[in-house]
Amino acid sequence: MAEAISILGSTGSIGRQTIEVAENIGLKVAALTANRKTDLLEEQVRRLRPEFVAVYDETAAKDIKIRLADLNVRVASGMEGLIEAATLNSVKSVVTAVSGSVGLKPTLAAIHEKKRIALANKETLVCAGSIVMKTADECGAEIIPVDSEHSAIFQSLSGRDRSELKKILLTGSGGPFRGRKRAELADITPAQAVSHPNWSMGAKISVDSATMMNKGLEYIEAMHLFGVKPEDIQVVVHPQSMIHSMVELIDGTVIAQLAVADMGLPIQYALTYPKRLPSMFQHLDWTAMRDFTFEAPDLENMPCLALAMRAAKEGGIMPCVMSAANETAVHMFLAGKLGYNQIYDAVLDATEAMGNVAEPDLDTIIEADASARVFVAEHYSK
Ligand code: MG
Q: How far is CA 241 from CA 158, 257, 309, in A?
A: 21, 11, 21
pLDDT for residue 1: 43
User: Sign of the C-alpha dihedral, residues 123, 129, 135, 141?
Assistant: positive
Cα 19 to middle of ligand 1, angstroms = 19
Cα 175 to middle of ligand 1, angstroms = 11
Q: Which of helix, strand or coil describes residue 344? A: helix
Cα 8 to middle of ligand 1, angstroms = 18
Q: Round the CA-based radius of gyration of the chain to a whole number and report it.
A: 20
Examine the pLDDT at 289 and tell me if it is beyond 90. Answer: no
pLDDT tens-digit profile of 236-268?
Answer: 999 999 999 999 999 999 999 999 999 999 999
Query: What's CA 244's distance to the chain center, in Å?
Result: 15
Cα 278 to middle of ligand 1, angstroms = 23
Rounded to an integer, the average pLDDT of 127-131 is 95
Cα 359 to middle of ligand 1, angstroms = 27
Examine the pLDDT at 195 and tell me if it is beyond 90. Answer: no
Query: CA 39 to CA 113: how far, in whole Å?
Result: 31
Examine the pLDDT at 325 and tell me if it is beyond 60. Answer: yes
Cα 61 to middle of ligand 1, angstroms = 31
Cα 212 to middle of ligand 1, angstroms = 11
Contact 241, 252 (CB under 8 A): no
Q: Give me the residues paired with residue 243 across strands.
A: 258
Query: CA 137 to CA 274: how far, in whole Å?
Result: 18
Query: CA 177 to CA 237: how far, in whole Å?
Result: 12
Examine the pLDDT at 199 and tell me if it is beyond 80. Answer: no
pLDDT tens-digit profile of 93-116?
Answer: 999 999 878 899 999 999 999 999
Burial level of 231, CB count in 10 A (0-12/13-18/19+)? exposed
Examine the pLDDT at 2 and tell me if it is beyond 80. Answer: no
Cα 134 to middle of ligand 1, angstroms = 23
Contact 114, 141 (CB under 8 A): yes
